Amino acid sequence: MTAVTDALRRQEIELPSWAFGNSGTRFKVFSQPGVPRSPEEKIDDAAVVHRLTGVAPSVALHIPWDKVDDYAALSAYAKEQGVRLGAINTNVFQDEDYKLGSVTNPDPRIRRKATDHLLEAVDIMDQTGSRDLKLWFSDGTNYPGQDDIWDRQDRLAAALRETYDRLGEHQRILLEYKLFEPAFYTTDVPDWGTSYAHCLELGPKATVCIDTGHHAPGTNIEFIVAFLLRAGRLGAFDFNSRFYADDDLMVGSADPFQLFRIMNEIVRGDALDPANGIAFMLDQCHNIEAKIPAIIRSVMNVQEATAKALLVDRAALREAQQGGDVLAANAVLMDAYNTDVRPLLAELRIEQGLDPDPIAAYRHSGYAEKITAERADGQQAGWGA
Ligand code: PSV
Ligand code: MN
Ligand code: MN
Protein backbone atom coordinates (compact mmCIF):
# COMPACT_ATOMS: atom_id res chain seq x y z
CA MET A 1 0.00 0.00 0.00
CA THR A 2 2.88 2.42 0.61
CA ALA A 3 3.78 2.24 -3.10
CA VAL A 4 0.21 3.33 -3.90
CA THR A 5 0.17 6.22 -1.43
CA ASP A 6 3.69 7.32 -2.40
CA ALA A 7 2.65 7.52 -6.04
CA LEU A 8 -0.50 9.46 -5.14
CA ARG A 9 1.50 11.87 -3.03
CA ARG A 10 3.81 12.64 -5.95
CA GLN A 11 1.02 13.05 -8.51
CA GLU A 12 0.74 16.44 -10.27
CA ILE A 13 -2.20 17.84 -12.22
CA GLU A 14 -1.84 21.10 -14.15
CA LEU A 15 -4.71 23.61 -14.20
CA PRO A 16 -5.64 25.74 -17.24
CA SER A 17 -5.84 29.46 -16.54
CA TRP A 18 -8.82 29.75 -18.92
CA ALA A 19 -10.99 27.37 -16.90
CA PHE A 20 -11.32 30.06 -14.22
CA GLY A 21 -12.72 32.68 -16.62
CA ASN A 22 -16.15 33.03 -18.14
CA SER A 23 -17.02 30.58 -20.87
CA GLY A 24 -19.98 29.28 -22.82
CA THR A 25 -21.02 27.89 -26.13
CA ARG A 26 -21.41 29.47 -29.53
CA PHE A 27 -24.90 30.42 -28.33
CA LYS A 28 -24.09 32.23 -25.12
CA VAL A 29 -21.22 33.00 -22.78
CA PHE A 30 -22.51 33.01 -19.21
CA SER A 31 -20.88 35.30 -16.70
CA GLN A 32 -20.30 34.24 -13.13
CA PRO A 33 -19.65 36.49 -10.16
CA GLY A 34 -16.06 36.70 -8.98
CA VAL A 35 -14.29 35.53 -12.13
CA PRO A 36 -10.65 36.65 -12.37
CA ARG A 37 -9.89 39.95 -14.08
CA SER A 38 -6.19 39.34 -14.70
CA PRO A 39 -3.65 36.54 -15.08
CA GLU A 40 -2.64 37.18 -11.46
CA GLU A 41 -6.19 36.54 -10.25
CA LYS A 42 -6.36 33.32 -12.28
CA ILE A 43 -3.17 32.27 -10.54
CA ASP A 44 -4.74 33.18 -7.18
CA ASP A 45 -7.67 30.85 -7.93
CA ALA A 46 -5.42 28.05 -9.13
CA ALA A 47 -3.36 28.41 -5.95
CA VAL A 48 -6.53 27.91 -3.90
CA VAL A 49 -7.18 24.64 -5.74
CA HIS A 50 -3.60 23.56 -5.04
CA ARG A 51 -3.78 24.52 -1.37
CA LEU A 52 -6.93 22.42 -0.93
CA THR A 53 -5.91 19.37 -2.97
CA GLY A 54 -2.11 19.36 -2.70
CA VAL A 55 -1.69 17.97 -6.23
CA ALA A 56 -2.17 20.93 -8.59
CA PRO A 57 1.10 22.86 -8.39
CA SER A 58 1.15 24.44 -11.87
CA VAL A 59 -0.99 26.66 -14.08
CA ALA A 60 -0.96 26.64 -17.89
CA LEU A 61 -1.12 30.04 -19.57
CA HIS A 62 -2.84 30.95 -22.83
CA ILE A 63 -1.32 33.73 -24.93
CA PRO A 64 -2.59 36.39 -25.57
CA TRP A 65 -5.40 35.79 -23.05
CA ASP A 66 -2.76 35.88 -20.30
CA LYS A 67 -0.54 38.52 -21.88
CA VAL A 68 1.49 40.59 -19.40
CA ASP A 69 4.45 42.95 -19.76
CA ASP A 70 6.74 40.98 -17.51
CA TYR A 71 6.49 37.19 -17.56
CA ALA A 72 9.39 36.72 -15.16
CA ALA A 73 7.44 38.83 -12.66
CA LEU A 74 4.32 36.73 -13.28
CA SER A 75 6.36 33.61 -12.66
CA ALA A 76 7.65 35.12 -9.40
CA TYR A 77 4.07 36.03 -8.46
CA ALA A 78 2.96 32.42 -9.04
CA LYS A 79 5.79 31.19 -6.86
CA GLU A 80 4.71 33.51 -4.05
CA GLN A 81 1.25 31.95 -4.24
CA GLY A 82 2.73 28.47 -4.00
CA VAL A 83 2.35 27.41 -7.64
CA ARG A 84 4.42 27.65 -10.83
CA LEU A 85 3.68 28.49 -14.45
CA GLY A 86 3.26 25.46 -16.70
CA ALA A 87 2.62 24.98 -20.40
CA ILE A 88 2.33 27.96 -22.69
CA ASN A 89 -0.68 27.59 -25.00
CA THR A 90 -0.70 29.49 -28.27
CA ASN A 91 -3.67 31.12 -29.90
CA VAL A 92 -3.76 31.20 -33.69
CA PHE A 93 -7.52 30.87 -33.94
CA GLN A 94 -9.06 34.15 -32.81
CA ASP A 95 -8.02 36.60 -35.47
CA GLU A 96 -9.76 37.70 -38.67
CA ASP A 97 -6.63 36.74 -40.58
CA TYR A 98 -7.05 33.09 -39.64
CA LYS A 99 -10.35 32.51 -41.41
CA LEU A 100 -8.69 30.13 -43.89
CA GLY A 101 -6.09 28.84 -41.47
CA SER A 102 -3.04 30.00 -39.56
CA VAL A 103 0.19 28.11 -40.25
CA THR A 104 -1.49 26.28 -43.14
CA ASN A 105 -3.12 29.37 -44.66
CA PRO A 106 -2.58 29.72 -48.42
CA ASP A 107 -1.36 33.31 -47.85
CA PRO A 108 2.36 33.40 -46.89
CA ARG A 109 1.90 36.67 -44.96
CA ILE A 110 -0.63 35.04 -42.66
CA ARG A 111 1.53 31.94 -42.23
CA ARG A 112 4.41 34.22 -41.21
CA LYS A 113 2.23 36.02 -38.68
CA ALA A 114 1.06 32.72 -37.16
CA THR A 115 4.54 31.23 -36.99
CA ASP A 116 5.85 34.43 -35.39
CA HIS A 117 3.24 33.98 -32.66
CA LEU A 118 4.55 30.47 -32.00
CA LEU A 119 8.10 31.82 -31.79
CA GLU A 120 6.98 34.59 -29.45
CA ALA A 121 5.49 31.89 -27.21
CA VAL A 122 8.92 30.26 -26.96
CA ASP A 123 10.34 33.65 -25.93
CA ILE A 124 7.72 33.73 -23.19
CA MET A 125 8.70 30.21 -22.09
CA ASP A 126 12.27 31.44 -21.69
CA GLN A 127 10.98 34.01 -19.21
CA THR A 128 8.50 31.82 -17.33
CA GLY A 129 10.79 28.81 -17.21
CA SER A 130 8.08 26.68 -18.83
CA ARG A 131 9.05 23.39 -20.39
CA ASP A 132 6.06 22.89 -22.68
CA LEU A 133 4.77 24.71 -25.74
CA LYS A 134 1.29 23.45 -26.46
CA LEU A 135 0.13 23.80 -30.04
CA TRP A 136 -3.43 23.36 -31.12
CA PHE A 137 -4.36 24.46 -34.63
CA SER A 138 -7.93 25.12 -35.65
CA ASP A 139 -6.71 24.91 -39.26
CA GLY A 140 -8.66 22.96 -41.82
CA THR A 141 -11.21 23.33 -44.59
CA ASN A 142 -14.97 23.24 -44.81
CA TYR A 143 -15.48 22.13 -48.40
CA PRO A 144 -13.98 19.53 -50.72
CA GLY A 145 -11.59 21.28 -53.09
CA GLN A 146 -11.28 24.37 -50.89
CA ASP A 147 -7.51 23.94 -50.55
CA ASP A 148 -4.84 21.36 -51.26
CA ILE A 149 -4.56 18.87 -48.39
CA TRP A 150 -0.97 17.94 -49.29
CA ASP A 151 0.21 21.58 -49.51
CA ARG A 152 -1.36 22.30 -46.14
CA GLN A 153 0.64 19.46 -44.59
CA ASP A 154 3.82 20.95 -46.13
CA ARG A 155 2.99 24.37 -44.68
CA LEU A 156 2.28 22.85 -41.28
CA ALA A 157 5.56 20.94 -41.34
CA ALA A 158 7.49 24.11 -42.20
CA ALA A 159 5.99 26.10 -39.32
CA LEU A 160 6.56 23.26 -36.89
CA ARG A 161 10.16 22.90 -38.03
CA GLU A 162 10.87 26.60 -37.52
CA THR A 163 9.31 26.49 -34.06
CA TYR A 164 11.05 23.26 -33.10
CA ASP A 165 14.42 24.70 -34.09
CA ARG A 166 13.80 27.67 -31.80
CA LEU A 167 13.26 25.44 -28.71
CA GLY A 168 15.81 25.53 -25.92
CA GLU A 169 17.49 22.39 -24.69
CA HIS A 170 14.89 21.59 -22.04
CA GLN A 171 11.84 22.80 -23.92
CA ARG A 172 9.46 20.72 -25.99
CA ILE A 173 6.46 20.89 -28.27
CA LEU A 174 3.18 19.23 -27.33
CA LEU A 175 1.24 18.82 -30.57
CA GLU A 176 -2.47 18.49 -29.89
CA TYR A 177 -4.90 16.97 -32.39
CA LYS A 178 -8.64 17.32 -32.79
CA LEU A 179 -10.98 15.47 -35.11
CA PHE A 180 -13.05 18.44 -36.22
CA GLU A 181 -14.32 21.88 -35.21
CA PRO A 182 -14.08 24.63 -36.20
CA ALA A 183 -13.19 23.03 -39.54
CA PHE A 184 -15.83 20.57 -40.68
CA TYR A 185 -14.42 18.84 -43.78
CA THR A 186 -10.67 18.44 -43.21
CA THR A 187 -8.63 19.31 -40.15
CA ASP A 188 -4.88 19.62 -40.62
CA VAL A 189 -4.01 17.79 -37.37
CA PRO A 190 -7.11 15.61 -36.93
CA ASP A 191 -5.76 12.59 -35.08
CA TRP A 192 -2.93 11.13 -33.02
CA GLY A 193 -1.38 9.48 -36.07
CA THR A 194 -0.93 12.82 -37.85
CA SER A 195 0.45 14.41 -34.70
CA TYR A 196 2.78 11.46 -34.12
CA ALA A 197 4.07 11.52 -37.70
CA HIS A 198 4.90 15.24 -37.46
CA CYS A 199 6.56 14.69 -34.08
CA LEU A 200 8.72 11.89 -35.49
CA GLU A 201 9.79 14.14 -38.36
CA LEU A 202 10.62 16.97 -35.96
CA GLY A 203 12.73 15.12 -33.42
CA PRO A 204 12.73 13.90 -29.81
CA LYS A 205 11.54 17.19 -28.30
CA ALA A 206 8.15 16.89 -30.05
CA THR A 207 5.46 14.79 -28.37
CA VAL A 208 1.73 14.23 -28.72
CA CYS A 209 -0.91 15.82 -26.48
CA ILE A 210 -4.06 13.73 -26.08
CA ASP A 211 -7.14 15.82 -25.38
CA THR A 212 -9.69 13.27 -24.23
CA GLY A 213 -12.54 15.17 -25.91
CA HIS A 214 -10.99 15.28 -29.38
CA HIS A 215 -11.88 11.88 -30.84
CA ALA A 216 -14.65 10.23 -32.78
CA PRO A 217 -17.22 8.61 -30.49
CA GLY A 218 -16.15 5.13 -29.47
CA THR A 219 -12.43 5.73 -30.01
CA ASN A 220 -10.32 3.58 -27.70
CA ILE A 221 -8.21 6.28 -26.07
CA GLU A 222 -6.31 3.90 -23.79
CA PHE A 223 -4.97 2.14 -26.87
CA ILE A 224 -3.56 5.46 -28.09
CA VAL A 225 -2.02 6.01 -24.65
CA ALA A 226 -0.34 2.60 -24.70
CA PHE A 227 0.91 3.04 -28.26
CA LEU A 228 2.38 6.49 -27.70
CA LEU A 229 3.93 5.56 -24.36
CA ARG A 230 5.62 2.57 -25.94
CA ALA A 231 6.90 4.82 -28.72
CA GLY A 232 8.15 7.40 -26.21
CA ARG A 233 5.98 10.12 -27.77
CA LEU A 234 3.25 10.77 -25.25
CA GLY A 235 3.84 14.25 -23.86
CA ALA A 236 0.63 15.33 -22.21
CA PHE A 237 -3.07 15.00 -21.61
CA ASP A 238 -5.74 17.62 -21.81
CA PHE A 239 -8.29 15.98 -19.55
CA ASN A 240 -12.02 16.62 -19.83
CA SER A 241 -15.22 14.65 -20.41
CA ARG A 242 -17.49 14.45 -23.38
CA PHE A 243 -20.79 12.93 -24.31
CA TYR A 244 -20.88 14.05 -27.94
CA ALA A 245 -17.99 16.16 -29.27
CA ASP A 246 -15.51 18.57 -27.62
CA ASP A 247 -17.80 19.10 -24.62
CA ASP A 248 -15.02 20.14 -22.17
CA LEU A 249 -16.99 18.87 -19.17
CA MET A 250 -15.39 17.89 -15.87
CA VAL A 251 -12.99 14.98 -16.36
CA GLY A 252 -14.34 11.72 -15.01
CA SER A 253 -17.92 12.97 -14.99
CA ALA A 254 -19.20 11.37 -18.19
CA ASP A 255 -17.20 8.15 -18.18
CA PRO A 256 -15.14 7.49 -15.05
CA PHE A 257 -14.41 3.97 -16.31
CA GLN A 258 -12.67 5.38 -19.37
CA LEU A 259 -10.55 7.61 -17.16
CA PHE A 260 -9.62 4.56 -15.08
CA ARG A 261 -8.67 2.63 -18.25
CA ILE A 262 -6.46 5.53 -19.35
CA MET A 263 -4.77 5.78 -15.95
CA ASN A 264 -4.34 2.01 -15.95
CA GLU A 265 -2.20 2.30 -19.10
CA ILE A 266 -0.26 5.15 -17.48
CA VAL A 267 0.51 3.01 -14.45
CA ARG A 268 1.31 0.02 -16.70
CA GLY A 269 3.77 2.23 -18.60
CA ASP A 270 5.27 3.62 -15.37
CA ALA A 271 4.43 7.12 -16.55
CA LEU A 272 2.70 8.62 -13.53
CA ASP A 273 5.67 10.13 -11.77
CA PRO A 274 6.20 13.77 -12.84
CA ALA A 275 9.87 12.95 -13.40
CA ASN A 276 8.80 10.78 -16.34
CA GLY A 277 7.68 13.81 -18.29
CA ILE A 278 3.98 13.31 -18.97
CA ALA A 279 1.99 16.46 -18.20
CA PHE A 280 -1.48 15.72 -16.81
CA MET A 281 -3.40 18.87 -17.58
CA LEU A 282 -7.06 19.79 -17.44
CA ASP A 283 -8.67 21.53 -20.42
CA GLN A 284 -12.21 22.28 -19.38
CA CYS A 285 -14.90 24.94 -19.44
CA HIS A 286 -17.32 25.38 -16.58
CA ASN A 287 -20.18 27.10 -18.32
CA ILE A 288 -23.01 26.46 -15.87
CA GLU A 289 -21.32 25.25 -12.67
CA ALA A 290 -19.23 27.19 -10.16
CA LYS A 291 -15.70 27.12 -11.51
CA ILE A 292 -13.35 26.63 -8.57
CA PRO A 293 -15.26 23.75 -6.94
CA ALA A 294 -15.71 22.18 -10.40
CA ILE A 295 -11.95 22.26 -10.87
CA ILE A 296 -11.44 20.77 -7.40
CA ARG A 297 -13.93 18.04 -8.29
CA SER A 298 -12.03 17.36 -11.53
CA VAL A 299 -8.72 17.06 -9.70
CA MET A 300 -10.33 14.63 -7.25
CA ASN A 301 -11.78 12.58 -10.12
CA VAL A 302 -8.30 12.20 -11.62
CA GLN A 303 -6.94 11.21 -8.21
CA GLU A 304 -9.66 8.60 -7.75
CA ALA A 305 -9.07 7.05 -11.19
CA THR A 306 -5.34 7.04 -10.48
CA ALA A 307 -5.74 5.38 -7.09
CA LYS A 308 -7.86 2.64 -8.66
CA ALA A 309 -5.29 2.12 -11.42
CA LEU A 310 -2.55 1.87 -8.80
CA LEU A 311 -4.58 -0.78 -6.96
CA VAL A 312 -4.60 -3.15 -9.95
CA ASP A 313 -2.85 -6.34 -8.89
CA ARG A 314 -0.21 -6.34 -11.65
CA ALA A 315 1.19 -9.77 -10.80
CA ALA A 316 -2.24 -11.40 -10.82
CA LEU A 317 -3.13 -9.59 -14.03
CA ARG A 318 0.01 -10.77 -15.79
CA GLU A 319 -0.48 -14.32 -14.62
CA ALA A 320 -4.07 -14.38 -15.89
CA GLN A 321 -3.04 -12.76 -19.19
CA GLN A 322 -0.22 -15.18 -19.80
CA GLY A 323 -2.37 -18.14 -18.84
CA GLY A 324 -4.98 -16.97 -21.32
CA ASP A 325 -7.57 -16.66 -18.55
CA VAL A 326 -9.74 -13.96 -20.05
CA LEU A 327 -12.26 -13.77 -17.24
CA ALA A 328 -9.68 -13.73 -14.46
CA ALA A 329 -7.70 -10.96 -16.18
CA ASN A 330 -10.80 -8.86 -16.62
CA ALA A 331 -11.80 -9.52 -13.00
CA VAL A 332 -8.46 -8.18 -11.74
CA LEU A 333 -9.13 -4.86 -13.49
CA MET A 334 -12.76 -4.71 -12.39
CA ASP A 335 -11.87 -5.45 -8.75
CA ALA A 336 -9.58 -2.43 -8.74
CA TYR A 337 -12.11 -0.24 -10.54
CA ASN A 338 -14.88 -1.21 -8.13
CA THR A 339 -12.84 -0.37 -5.03
CA ASP A 340 -14.03 2.70 -3.15
CA VAL A 341 -10.80 4.70 -2.92
CA ARG A 342 -12.33 7.77 -1.28
CA PRO A 343 -11.37 6.72 2.27
CA LEU A 344 -7.79 6.12 1.13
CA LEU A 345 -7.57 9.56 -0.46
CA ALA A 346 -9.21 11.22 2.55
CA GLU A 347 -6.63 9.60 4.81
CA LEU A 348 -3.81 10.71 2.55
CA ARG A 349 -5.07 14.30 2.70
CA ILE A 350 -5.27 14.24 6.49
CA GLU A 351 -1.73 12.92 6.58
CA GLN A 352 -0.65 15.86 4.39
CA GLY A 353 -2.36 18.35 6.67
CA LEU A 354 -5.24 18.92 4.24
CA ASP A 355 -8.96 18.79 4.79
CA PRO A 356 -10.18 15.29 3.78
CA ASP A 357 -13.03 16.92 1.84
CA PRO A 358 -11.55 19.69 -0.37
CA ILE A 359 -14.92 20.79 -1.78
CA ALA A 360 -16.44 21.25 1.67
CA ALA A 361 -13.26 23.03 2.73
CA TYR A 362 -13.64 25.40 -0.22
CA ARG A 363 -17.28 26.10 0.65
CA HIS A 364 -16.34 26.91 4.23
CA SER A 365 -13.30 28.98 3.29
CA GLY A 366 -15.24 32.13 2.38
CA TYR A 367 -13.13 32.49 -0.79
CA ALA A 368 -16.14 32.48 -3.12
CA GLU A 369 -17.75 35.32 -1.15
CA LYS A 370 -14.46 37.22 -1.05
CA ILE A 371 -13.87 37.14 -4.82
CA THR A 372 -17.49 37.93 -5.53
CA ALA A 373 -17.14 41.10 -3.45
CA GLU A 374 -13.69 42.06 -4.68
CA ARG A 375 -14.05 41.36 -8.39
CA ALA A 376 -17.35 43.06 -9.01
CA ASP A 377 -16.31 44.62 -12.30
CA GLY A 378 -14.54 42.02 -14.24
CA GLN A 379 -14.23 39.73 -17.14
CA GLN A 380 -10.83 38.57 -18.22
CA ALA A 381 -10.05 37.68 -21.83
CA GLY A 382 -10.57 34.04 -22.70
CA TRP A 383 -13.30 31.95 -24.27
CA GLY A 384 -15.68 34.60 -23.00
CA ALA A 385 -13.83 37.41 -24.76
C1 PSV B 1 -10.15 23.88 -28.67
O2 PSV B 1 -10.70 22.65 -29.02
C3 PSV B 1 -9.37 23.72 -27.41
O4 PSV B 1 -10.29 23.19 -26.47
C5 PSV B 1 -8.16 22.84 -27.54
O6 PSV B 1 -8.44 21.64 -26.87
C7 PSV B 1 -7.06 23.59 -26.85
O8 PSV B 1 -6.27 22.79 -26.04
C9 PSV B 1 -7.85 24.58 -26.04
O10 PSV B 1 -8.92 24.90 -26.88
C11 PSV B 1 -7.12 25.82 -25.68
O12 PSV B 1 -6.49 26.40 -26.81
MN1 MN C 1 -7.21 20.81 -25.43
MN1 MN D 1 -10.80 21.21 -27.14
ipTM for the complex shown: 0.97
Give distance in angstroms: CA of 206 to centre of ligand 1.
18
Rounded Cα–Cα distance for residues 5 and 308 (Å): 11
C-beta separation of 303 from 310 below 8 A: no
Chain-centroid distance, C-alpha 293? 18
Which ligand 1 atom sits closest to the C-alpha of 246?
2
Helices (H) and strands (E) in the chain, counts: 14, 12
CA 14 to CA 328: how far, in whole Å?
36
Residue 383 lies in a domain: no
> Which ligand 1 atom is the nearest neighbour of the CA of 16?
11
In a domain, 382, yes or no: no
Q: Is 132 in the pocket of ligand 1 (CB under 6 A)?
A: no
Structural domain total, the chain: 1
Residue 211 beta carbon below 6 angstroms from any ligand 1 atom? yes
With a 6 Å cutoff on the Cβ, whether 176 touches ligand 1 is yes
Distance from residue 350's CA to the centre of ligand 2 (Å) = 33
Q: Ligand 2 centre and the CA of 94: distance in Å?
A: 15
Domain assignment present for 94: yes
Shortest-distance ligand to the CA of residue 135:
1
What is the whole-number distance in angstroms between the Cα of residue 346 and the centre of ligand 3?
A: 31
Where do the H-state alpha helices sit in the chain?
A: 2-10, 39-53, 71-81, 108-128, 149-166, 192-202, 221-230, 256-268, 291-311, 314-322, 326-337, 342-351, 358-365, 367-374
Which is it for strands 140-141 and 186-187: parallel, antiparallel or unpaired?
antiparallel
Looking up residue 160, the CATH number of its domain turns out to be 3.20.20.150
Ligand 1 center to 364 CA (angstroms): 32
What atom in ligand 1 is closest to the CA of residue 134?
8
Residue 161 lies in a domain: yes
242 lines ligand 1 (CB under 6 A): no
Is there a domain that residue 101 lies in? yes
Q: Which ligand is nearest to the CA of 88?
A: 1
Within a domain: 366: yes
Question: 3-state class of 290 per DSSP?
Answer: coil
Q: Is 238 helix (H, G, I), strand (E, B) or coil?
A: strand
pLDDT, tens digit only, all 385 positions of the chain: 789 999 999 999 999 999 999 999 999 999 999 999 999 999 999 999 999 999 999 999 999 999 999 999 999 999 999 999 999 999 999 999 999 999 999 999 999 999 999 999 999 999 999 999 999 999 999 999 999 999 999 999 999 999 999 999 999 999 999 999 999 999 999 999 999 999 999 999 999 999 999 999 999 999 999 999 999 999 999 999 999 999 999 999 999 999 999 999 999 999 999 999 999 999 999 999 999 999 999 999 999 999 999 999 999 999 999 999 999 999 999 999 999 999 999 999 999 999 999 999 999 999 999 999 999 876 666 877 6
Atom of ligand 1 nearest to the CA of 211: 6
The boundaries of the domain holding residue 298 are: 2-374
Q: How far is the CA of 195 from the centre of ligand 3 (A)?
A: 15
Tell the residue nearest (CA) to atom 4 of ligand 1.
283
Q: Which numbered atom of ligand 1 lies nearest the CA of 18?
A: 11
Tell me how many degrees the CA angle 217-222-224 measures, rounded to the nearest 5. 85
**Structural domain includes residue 381:** no
Mean pLDDT of all residues in the chain?
Answer: 97
Q: What spacing in Å lies between the alpha carbon of 214 and ligand 2's midpoint?
A: 8
Domain assignment present for residue 380? The answer is no
> How far, in Å, is the centroid of ligand 1 from the Cα of 105?
19
Strand partners, 366: none
What b/e string do you get for 267-288 counting C-beta neighbours within 10 Å, with b at 16 or more?
bbbebbeeeeebbbbbbbbbbe
**Rounded Cα distance, 6 and 267, in Å:** 13
Q: Using a 6 Å cutoff on CB, does residue 247 contact ligand 1?
A: no
Q: Which ligand is nearest to the CA of 211?
A: 2
For ligand 1, whether the C-beta of 283 sits within 6 Å is: yes
